[in-house]
């Protein structure tokens, strides 16, 4: 029997390791080590289960030391939702030596994100995350405390406040008009929608960060550099990494994820260094004022007395803006157009609303946005069906705590499955149907106070960029569907399948053919 079990585990381990590119001999060596240590893991779990605390949440049977790693499905958001149907709204998985807690109900999400917000405000920082953000010195991965408060305050007040966003309206308009012009020049031919959305948002963000330092002729090259690197960074952040599940293996970097991330982070660091050097040589007059100038001045002045503001903090915040602000919104825009093309009546209704508010002899302005309730409903419905971060960013309790009658130990990795809650048939009528009308009554918002619908998270760790994401989606998407009709390449079928990652992506790239619909070519200039 023991030989059969070992053979079964070995086969599963080999298949799992194959999906993450580990050499077979190395995988075998790791399996032997794990087998030797299994008895100690078994003894430890038995002792833990006999404690006087409430039990751990239920979950699938786990192999010694390996836990449930071998049974993980690459589409984690779907797999976790399946487990919830079997084990209930709170369940557990052993990810090697790490304990994962799965939350799949609004009530329990409220317990974690609101009732016990401070307790769950920390992060279990992955190795790849530390490597990409200068040791976790950014808003996303920084531990809850003075440093995090300082970074969030700086970012929200100086970069993402409504006042700041109002001041760079002309930049957003310029980049969106450039995109409309690009699409117009490619009318009648397939356009890679996601790629164009990414580049538009990237240009807006980099313009806000260091718009006074980059000449127009250098913007295109800089955008190409970022696009390639950001896609690879988000991919590595979503890969299962043995160094996270077995911290003792971190120094060996078995899968090479840390090494790959270091190479990518170095590329972005080189760009940041160039921008910092250029900004340092420029005058500090108001005409050149941008986010980078403010950060460098804050660094020079010493920052918050409680928390020194270093150059690493400067770069980590730039990293957050570039990585966190581009992929999320561009993927949402791609899903939105794909869903509407599959339901032409939705696209037609949105275009009719735009014609009533804007007209076919004018272009969309940001001032029109608040007069477009159906377009807002489309955005909310896309975020319901395809939340940018399907499991949010995992939370980590600073102390052991009881949630839903079960013990959630200190240091566990807590996954809140917003994707599954947004598709819960007990909350949503026909949850798998793309139906923007459900949001027209104004009942739902994404402020983080309603745990039936919270695509941007909730509590202290709620997304800091919600206002910017909303403006970019509405202005850019409104411009694209007002200016063009869209159809698939002949012979292609509508494919809305998802690819899991820390950021949810469309599995099949959307290639769509635009047809101009405005009254004059002048409006495409």
Domains and CATH numbers, the chain: 53-524 (1.10.630.10)
Mean pLDDT for all residues in the chain: 88
- Mapping DSSP to helix (H, G, I), strand (E, B) and coil, where does residue 407 land? strand
Q: What is the pLDDT of residue 390?
A: 96
Q: What is the pLDDT of residue 240?
A: 86
**CA distance linking residue 142 with residue 319, whole number of Å:** 13
**Percent of the chain whose predicted confidence (pLDDT) is above 90:** 69
Is the separation of the CB atoms in 236 and 257 below 8 Å?
A: yes
Residue 4 clears pLDDT 50, i.e. is over it: no
Q: Which residues contact 201 (CB under 8 A, 6 or more apart)?
A: 325, 326, 329, 330, 472, 476
Band (6; pLDDT cuts 50, 70, 90): very low
- Mapping DSSP to helix (H, G, I), strand (E, B) and coil, where does residue 192 land? strand
How many CB atoms sit inside 10 A of residue 281's CB?
A: 8
Q: What is the pLDDT of residue 300?
A: 86
Written as one string, the DSSP assignment of 142-163 is: SPTTHHHHHHHHHHHHHTSSHH
Q: Which residues contact 95 (CB under 8 A, 6 or more apart)?
A: 67, 68, 69, 72, 244, 245, 413
Q: What is the pLDDT of residue 443?
A: 79
Residue 286 or residue 317, greater confidence: 317
450: nearest Cα among 438, 441, 459:
459
Q: What is the pLDDT of residues 247-294, one digit of tens each?
A: 889 999 999 999 999 999 999 999 899 999 988 877 655 555 688 988
Written as one string, the DSSP assignment of 494-507 is: ----EE-SSS-EES
Alpha helices by DSSP H, listed for 186-342, are 193-210, 216-238, 242-245, 257-281, 291-301, 311-319, 325-342
333: nearest Cα among 235, 469, 485, 197:
197
Tokens of 177: 């008009």
**CA distance linking residue 471 with residue 356, whole number of Å:** 20
Band (29; pLDDT cuts 50, 70, 90): low
**CA distance linking residue 268 with residue 253, whole number of Å:** 21
Report the range of poorest mean pLDDT among 7-16, 175-184, 216-225, 447-456: 7-16
Report the range of poorest mean pLDDT among 12-21, 218-227, 263-272: 12-21
Band (5; pLDDT cuts 50, 70, 90): very low
Q: What is the pLDDT of residues 319-370, one digit of tens each?
A: 999 898 999 999 999 999 999 999 999 999 999 999 999 999 999 999 999 9
Q: What is the pLDDT of residue 91?
A: 98
Report the range of poorest mean pLDDT among 299-313, 453-467, 496-510: 299-313
**CA distance linking residue 26 with residue 13, whole number of Å:** 11
Q: What is the pLDDT of residues 60-85, one digit of tens each?
A: 999 988 999 999 999 999 999 999 99
Report the range of poorest mean pLDDT among 212-221, 227-236, 297-306: 212-221
Residue 216 clears pLDDT 80, i.e. is over it: no
Q: What is the pLDDT of residue 400?
A: 97
Q: What is the pLDDT of residue 1?
A: 40
275: nearest Cα among 319, 236, 228:
319
**Percent of the chain whose predicted confidence (pLDDT) is above 70:** 86
| Average pLDDT estimate for 228-253 | 90
Q: What is the pLDDT of residue 357?
A: 97
**How far is the first Cα of the chain from the last one, in angstroms, to the nearest whole number?**
73
Residue 461 clears pLDDT 80, i.e. is over it: yes
HEC letters along 477-492: HHHHHHHEEEEECCCC
Is the separation of the CB atoms in 56 and 407 below 8 Å?
A: yes
Residue 241 clears pLDDT 80, i.e. is over it: yes
Q: What is the pLDDT of residue 143?
A: 93
Residue 445 clears pLDDT 60, i.e. is over it: yes
Is the separation of the CB atoms in 362 and 472 below 8 Å?
A: no
| Average pLDDT estimate for 165-179 | 93
Residue 125 clears pLDDT 80, i.e. is over it: yes
């Amino acid at each position: 029997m023991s030989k059969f079990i070992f053979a079964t585990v070995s086969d599963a381990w080999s298949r799992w390791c194959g999906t993450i590119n580990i050499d077979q001999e190395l995988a075998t060596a790791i399996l032997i080590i794990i087998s030797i240590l299994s008895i100690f893991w078994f003894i430890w779990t038995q002792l833990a289960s006999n404690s006087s605390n409430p039990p751990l949440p239920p979950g699938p049977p786990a192999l010694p030391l390996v836990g449930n790693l071998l049974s993980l499905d690459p589409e984690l958001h779907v797999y976790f939702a399946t487990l919830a149907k079997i084990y209930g709204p709170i369940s557990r998985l052993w990810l090697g030596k790490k304990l994962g807690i799965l939350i799949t109900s609004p009530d329990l999400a409220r317990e974690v994100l609101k009732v016990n917000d401070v307790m769950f405000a920390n992060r279990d920082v992955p190795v790849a995350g530390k490597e990409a953000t200068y040791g976790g010195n950014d808003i996303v991965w920084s531990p809850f405390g003075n440093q995090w408060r300082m970074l969030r305050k700086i970012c929200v007040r100086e970069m993402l406040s409504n006042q700041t966003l109002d001041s760079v309206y002309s930049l957003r308009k310029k980049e969106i008009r450039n995109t409309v012009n690009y699409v117009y020049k490619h009318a009648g031919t397939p356009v890679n929608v996601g790629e164009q959305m990414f580049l538009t948002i990237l240009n807006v963000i980099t313009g806000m960060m260091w718009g006074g330092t980059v000449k127009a002729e250098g913007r295109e090259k800089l955008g190409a550099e970022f696009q390639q690197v950001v896609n690879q960074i988000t991919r590595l952040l979503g890969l299962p990494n043995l160094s996270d599940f077995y911290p003792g293996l971190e120094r060996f970097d078995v899968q090479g994820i840390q090494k790959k991330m270091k190479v990518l982070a170095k590329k972005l660091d080189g760009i940041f260094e160039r921008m910092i050097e250029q900004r340092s040589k420029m005058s500090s007059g108001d005409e050149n004022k941008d986010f980078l100038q403010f950060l460098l001045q804050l660094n020079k002045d010493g920052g918050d007395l409680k928390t020194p503001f270093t150059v690493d903090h400067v770069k980590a915040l730039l990293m957050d803006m570039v990585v966190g602000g581009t992929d999320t919104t561009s993927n949402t825009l791609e899903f939105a157009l794909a869903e509407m093309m599959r339901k032409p009546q939705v696209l037609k209704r949105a275009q009719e609303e735009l014609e009533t508010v804007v007209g076919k002899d004018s272009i969309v302005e940001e001032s029109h946005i608040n007069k477009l309730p159906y377009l807002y409903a489309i955005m909310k419905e896309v975020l319901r069906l395809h939340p940018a971060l399907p499991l949010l960013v995992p939370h980590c309790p600073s102390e052991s705590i009881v949630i839903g009658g079960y013990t959630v130990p200190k240091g566990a990795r807590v996954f809140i499955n917003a994707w599954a809650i947004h598709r819960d048939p007990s909350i949503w009528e026909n949850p798998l149907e793309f139906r923007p009308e459900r949001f027209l009554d104004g009942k739902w918002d994404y402020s983080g106070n309603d745990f039936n619908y919270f695509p941007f998270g909730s509590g202290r760790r709620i997304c800091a960029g919600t206002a910017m994401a909303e403006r970019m989606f509405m202005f850019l998407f409104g411009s694209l569907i007002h200016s063009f009709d869209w159809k698939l390449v002949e012979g292609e079928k509508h494919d809305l399948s998802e690819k899991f990652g820390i950021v949810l992506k469309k599995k099949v790239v959307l290639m769509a053919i635009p047809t101009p619909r405005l009254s004059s070519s002048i409006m495409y200039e």
